[in-house]
Amino acid sequence: MKASRLARCTRLSLNGGSLAILQWLAACSAAPGDGAQPGNAAVAAEAPAPQAGAGGAVAPVAADARLVVAFGDSLYAGYGVTQTESFPARLQAALAEAGVKAVVHNAGVSGDTSAAGRQRLGFVLDGLPRRPDLVIVGLGGNDMLRGLSPDETRANLTAILDELKQRGIPAMLTGMVAAPNMGPDYVAAFNPIYPQLARQYGVPLYPFFLDGVVTDEKLMQADRIHPTAAGIDRVTARIAPLVRQALAR
């Protein structure tokens, strides 16, 4: 998405200033009965350009180390922070602190929709030194921001999970929920995507990537879309235990 389009979308969400956006985000919730946690906020994981290092060369992987791929958009790529502060880097550090030797490859690209992720998945996987032990998929925020059809989002995420399954690669999802101002029909169609796919494919799900972070302005960048380094640490602390469990399967 071009910067001008992003600015218009952001102004729509930020109408009324910082307090309004926090109230708007806090009001977002997943559809009842779908396994997502109440109070999860919707966020547009959009940024103007890919970040340095996103989807680049994989660090050397020792024979006794696990290879994890963080495959997503700007929330994974590390928009607005250094690469050492990005989610993949902090996840690798958290796993090491827990005694799990792993390389977490940053395959996040800012601005990616689920369709863009679907198109590049094979290229990313084929460029790895070996089959990964886990691929964490975090896409769909930009679909929601652009008002793309939830059916398209579901189809693209399904294709991604199908390819991972066909290649024998374990997967994990980090989810998203739609903003209420998208309308009840959109919310009802979008929100169940992640919990339903998680059940269908038997993969772990973290219902909302920025849960517990997005409503705390101290943990968010000025755009109120992307987390600060401290926010990423908070997110990582919540997701790392699920990743450890997935790697132990």
Structure tokens, 112: 């990616």
Residue 10's Cα: distance from chain center in Å? 19
CA atoms within a 13 Å half-sphere pointing along the CA-CB vector of 205:
21
Phi and psi angles of residue 135, each rounded to the nearest 5 degrees, phi first? -120, 120
The answer to whether residue 223 is catalytic is yes
Active-site position among 74, 86, 110, 114: 74
Residue 18's Cα: distance from chain center in Å? 23
Q: How far apart are CA 198 and CA 9, in angstroms?
A: 29
Q: How far apart are CA 180 and CA 42, in angstroms?
A: 9
The answer to whether residue 74 is catalytic is yes
Radius of gyration over every alpha carbon of the chain, rounded to an integer in angstroms = 17
The answer to whether residue 149 is catalytic is no
Query: Which residues are the active-site residues?
Result: 74, 223, 226
